Amino acid sequence: MKFTVLGFLLAGFVMPAWAGLFSVTPVRIYIAPKERAVAVTITNEGDEPLVMQADLYQWKQKPDGKNDLTLTEDLFLSPPIIKLAPKARQVVRLARMNGVTPTDQLTYRMILREVPEAKPAKEQLEVQIALAFSLPVFITPPTAKRQLGCTVERLTTDSVKAICENTGNAYAYPAGFLLTNPAGEPLARLESGDYILPGIKRSFDLTRKEGKIPAGKAILAVSFDDGTSQNYDVSLAE
């Protein structure tokens, strides 16, 4: 899988704005406990030279699910500054400083940032847009597993809230939700999700387009990023 970042124009600006065009693979980084380093490929897809720098953070979540990032020295990227000619590609190494095998999954974020001031000045006045994106990094021992429990609460006549708590010791990523009646007929759905780190509870809103969601017993089917799914027996009040 490859993630591409495109340059774009700021709406309403008179001055032209410019930014880079680059891709990174993989977009989700897994490091086995016995591995000391993994390869990450960065490609400059554009016609301008590109300079990138990387910052590494320990990644946790607050009780409301918002990310909580703290700079860390547990990992380092070699080289930390990436200089790419147009259409060039470079393989960098993301390495661990501590080789101890953890008992729980360790979660980090690597944020790659464009360094626009490293580009040559243009003849005309321009606005430079510094692009950045965040890659999740996981170090997962074999015993670390997600453990997700979900319930459903009514919000309105045509919408419900799925409340999911991860009591395991590895991340959960519910990628989609489908609420059905016991006969399997769809009632409401949400075709997106987000990370739920261990010890975190998050909620997701599901809406029915065809009208009211009836009260009574129902089934919440949750699909995960690894292709598996899990069903939860739930009950809805009027």
Contacts of 93 (CB under 8 A, 6+ apart): 37, 38, 39, 40, 77, 78
Q: How many CA atoms lie within 13 A of 207 on its CB side?
A: 2
pLDDT 10s digits, 68-90 = 999 999 999 999 899 999 999 99
- d(C-alpha 55, C-alpha 97), whole Å: 15
Which residue is listed with tokens 């390869």?
A: 39
Amino acid code (one letter) for 13: F
SS3 118: helix
Q: Which two tokens stand for residue 177?
A: 């939700």
Q: Which residues pair with 222 in a beta bridge?
A: 177, 230
The domains of the chain, with CATH numbers, are: 3-139 (2.60.40.10), 148-236 (2.60.40.10)
pLDDT 10s digits, 156-175 = 999 999 999 999 999 999 99
Residues in the chain, pLDDT under 70: 1-20, 117-130
